[in-house]
Structure 1
Amino acid sequence: MKMISHPDTPKKKLFASMQETFRKDVERAFGILQARWAIVRGPVRLHDIRTLCDIMMACIIMHNMIVEDEYEEKDEEPTQQDYREDYDYIGGIVELNLNHDGPTLSEYMMCHNRIRDFLVHTSLKSDLINHLWRHHGNEM
């Protein structure tokens, strides 16, 4: 979402301030993930939302595991018990649906057009500004 370059109301000033703060955090986080995994680089338009969520969660979890491993201060070699404890927290088996063909061209075009609709974008942005003002307006 584009920044409000010259916010002229308290609501818009709050929105611009919060957007700038969160935008930096999100860009930093995505930069780290994109540097490590190609699957999160560039636009992705042919996956359903659930698959995208699963991909992002997997990348975040793997990143956290790598960070923990790199900074772990363990001097001794892992024991058999350590390995057993690591696997005690693994969830159930994940079933993959490899027969899913993805969206049809018409579904893709409808989604793409909905994303590009100026009136929808303006309405959502206005709703977000008002929501932030209701919850954080008294902090200004």
Structure 2
Amino acid sequence: MSRRLFLRIANAVEAHNPYFKQRTDALGVLGLSCLQKVTAAHRILAYGIPADLTDEYLQIGESITIESLRAFVKAIVEVFGDWYLKAPNEADICRLLSIGEQRGFPGMLGSIDCMHWKWEKCPIAWHGMYTGHCREPTIILEAVASQDLWIWHAFFGMPGSLNDINVLDRSPIFAALAEGRTAPVNYTINGHEYTMGYYLADEIYPNWSTFVKTIPRPLGAKRKYFASKQESARKDVERAFGVLQSRFAIVHEGAMNLGFDHERAVNSFISVSHDEIPELHDFLQTHNRIRDRATSSQLQEDLVEHLWEQYGNE
């Protein structure tokens, strides 16, 4: 991280939360500075180290380090959340669609997948619920990422015993779409018109009109070419997960001695007022369109033809 970026973050959280301001005690002795507290939080997130390892370098105790980390991540969300933790607006969607079309996938909004985040200090009583195919307690992160590594959808907190479909059933990713609160997405492929964007996904995801999956055993040059292009573009989200883990070792190594707010995590759905909920008929129609298997098959066939026509001769 550059010095300029680090100081920008430190100054922002200090201005937002008085906890980070340096104060004096009753004897007039200066307490811990903002730089000490913010650096301690950064070291835990970046290196995945336990809180007591920051004492030697920063002269800050374990309990204060954990307290600083909690205050830091909360301040980051409150200060930068409106800009960096937002759903795509109309301009963002146009940019995503343009990127997808340049890669041969008109209507593509990104790639979707799940990763497991190791929870080293999971309470013994919860081991069964949070242990799945990884053979150790994990917490699942569902994300949608674009080619430029922008993770614009993140749903975190589901137990590791679930799979991608179970997580999808609880995820709010299509909530705004079903409720009519998203910007329109209109495009034409192979002479057929479509009104909803889609995500590239692996084979475990259902055959919905909002997912485009590969062809497991493709026959013929057209289908083989489509499968190779889909599998290549779908790596965007896996690459984003790789960068996330390399930059923040706490994601790769797992939580050491930090608490986890289970209730807040599993209930991190978007709240909607009754005034924003569409008519039941419209909601059900959109809901059925999202899960339409016939449209999914047609979309895949159209993309097979489109990719072959545009790039097959290469």
TM range, smaller chain: 0.3 to 0.5
Instruction: Give the alignment's TM-score, normalised by structure 1.
Output: 0.46
Larger radius of gyration: 2
Q: Looking at secondary structure, tell me which structure has more helix per residue.
A: 1
Q: TM-score, normalised by structure 2?
A: 0.22
